[in-house]
Amino acid sequence: MVYVVLDYKVADYAKWKPVFDGYGATRKKAGSMGGKLFQHSDDKNHICILFEWDTKENATKFFASEETIKTQKGAGVVGKPMIVYADKIEDFKV
């Protein structure tokens, strides 16, 4: 499993969110196992998503696909998303 951090701005969160939700089955088919959605505290249109993905190869292929890029732009993603692929090394508390 790999973690994917996706960070980008959207023109309007209220318009972006239904498109994101509607794309869930496509993400699942591509190997997404879910994740967590965050908004920056001082900018509700700045989104950060932490995905769990089955493999880095599947995640890379998904985020580079023309369909995904087109869907992001149609949903109002502004600029180029920052994408980080990460391997978990440990859990910690405090």
pLDDT in tens, 47-89: 999 999 999 999 999 999 999 999 999 999 999 999 999 999 9
Give pLDDT tens digits for 11-54. Answer: 999 999 999 999 999 999 999 999 999 999 999 999 999 999 99
Q: What is the pLDDT of residue 59?
A: 98
Query: How far apart are the C-alpha atoms of 61 and 16, rounded to whole Å?
Result: 22
Q: What is the pLDDT of residue 68?
A: 98
Q: How far is CA 19 from the centre of its chain?
A: 12
Q: What is the pLDDT of residue 85?
A: 98
Which overall architecture, per CATH, does domain 2-86 show?
A: 2-Layer Sandwich (3.30)
Query: Taking the complete model, does pTM exceed 0.85, yes or no?
Result: yes
Query: How far apart are the C-alpha atoms of 82 and 65, rounded to whole Å?
Result: 15
Q: What is the pLDDT of residue 64?
A: 97
Q: What is the pLDDT of residue 61?
A: 98
Domain residue ranges in the chain: 2-86
